[in-house]
């Protein structure tokens, strides 16, 4: 996910490069379990100070259902819309002062390589639900025998979730709704 932007940095403001991206992201983050490559489009646009990255990306990751603990594939789509800043002047080779809004994830290195990995990791993480559900009406695990109620009817059809856990379940449901 690295682009050499030396030619683009020499270009005029507004000049744009368009790329198709297809990248394995197994190594991106130990907590993210991708089931497919990362796919999508990337536009690199020369700005006054640097390069604006506009990307539209999608992949499928494996998540664990917060109610029944089953693992399932979750297709997700997210965007990157961030400006990257050079650390070295492309014409003189002099070290450049960094704008206040620049952070380590959005710096172009001394070899004029723009690396999308860290911003992708951050934006993909934000696109994933905090309390994933394998389906909207997931029945969860039986609080008595622990069986997955989506697959089996157990002998405790009316067993209610322990009220202490019910409160937790509400919170999980709520955060799940607000993250979708
Ligand atoms: Zn579930
Ligand atoms: Zn049961």
Residue 177 CA, ligand 2 centroid: distance in Å: 27
Domain membership of residue 90 as a residue range: 2-127
Give the tens place of pLDDT for each residue, 83-141. Answer: 999 999 999 999 988 888 778 999 999 999 999 999 999 999 999 999 999 999 999 99
Q: How many domains does the chain have?
A: 1
When pLDDT is cut at 50, 70 and 90, the band that residue 159 belongs to is confident
Q: What is the pLDDT of residue 62?
A: 98
Residue 173: burial class (beta carbons within 10 Å; 0-12, 13-18, 19+): middle
Other Cβ atoms less than 10 A from the Cβ of 144: the count is 12
Looking at the CA of 156, name the nearest ligand.
Answer: 2
Give the tens place of pLDDT for each residue, 129-142. Answer: 999 999 999 999 99
Residue 4 CA, ligand 1 centroid: distance in Å: 43
The answer to whether residue 140 is domain-embedded is no
What's the full length of the chain, in residues?
180
Residue 60: burial class (beta carbons within 10 Å; 0-12, 13-18, 19+): middle
**For residue 52, what are the β-bridge partners?**
45, 83
The answer to whether residue 141 is domain-embedded is no
The answer to whether residue 12 is domain-embedded is yes
Share of the chain above pLDDT 70, in %: 89
Q: What is the pTM of this model?
A: 0.81
The answer to whether residue 89 is domain-embedded is yes
The answer to whether residue 161 is domain-embedded is no
């Amino acid at each position: 996910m690295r682009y050499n932007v030396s030619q683009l940095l020499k270009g005029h403001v507004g000049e744009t490069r368009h790329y198709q991206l297809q990248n394995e992201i197994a190594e991106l983050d130990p907590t993210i379990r991708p089931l497919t490559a990362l796919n999508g489009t990337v536009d690199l646009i020369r700005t006054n100070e640097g390069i604006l990255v506009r990307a539209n990306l999608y992949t499928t990751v494996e998540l664990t259902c917060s109610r029944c603990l089953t693992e399932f594939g979750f297709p997700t789509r997210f965007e990157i819309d961030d400006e990257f800043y050079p650390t070295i002047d492309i014409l003189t080779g002099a070290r450049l002062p960094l704008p206040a809004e620049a952070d380590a994830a959005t710096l172009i290195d001394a070899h004029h390589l723009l690396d999308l990995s860290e911003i992708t990791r951050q934006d993909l993480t934000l696109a994933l639900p905090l309390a994933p559900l394998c389906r909207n009406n997931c029945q969860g695990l039986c609080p008595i025998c622990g069986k997955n109620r989506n697959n089996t009817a157990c002998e405790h059809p009316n067993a209610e979730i322990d009220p202490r856990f019910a409160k937790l379940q509400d919170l999980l449901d709520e955060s799940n709704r607000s993250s979708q």
